[in-house]
Amino acid sequence: EASKISSAFAIDSTGIKTITIAHGLDITPSTQKITISVIRGTPVNDWTYNQLLVVGVDGTNVTVIINVNSASTTGGATANIALNIVA
């Protein structure tokens, strides 16, 4: 089992962001055992996303994409991805 938080990604601009998270496991987890969610970094609520997907898994990393379709008006605003893998 693994629970990780990604590095911050920008939410003050629109577009697809690719986030790679090291899972720290000795195996390559199956995508069915992975859950992801968005965690607020900067305390703003003026942005939205319309796509959040696991797009890759290997022996080291889980790769996620998120599409920020409405950007925050706060310059430098960020968020993170929470990753949970159940063995």
Mention every residue, 6+ apart, whose C-beta is less than 8 A from residue 26: none
Residue 20 is predicted with a pLDDT of: 98
pTM above 0.85, yes or no: yes
- Per-residue pLDDT tens digits for 14-68: 999 999 999 999 999 999 999 999 999 999 999 999 999 999 999 999 999 999 9
Residue 87 has pLDDT above 90, yes or no: no
Dihedral sign for Cα 73, 74, 76, 80, please.
Answer: negative
Distance separating alpha carbons of residues 61 and 85, to the nearest angstrom: 12
Per-residue H/E/C for 2-22: EEEECCCEECCCCEEEEEEEE
**Residue 13 — very low, low, confident or very high, per pLDDT cuts 50/70/90?**
very high
The DSSP string of 31-49 is: GGGEEEEEEESSS----EE
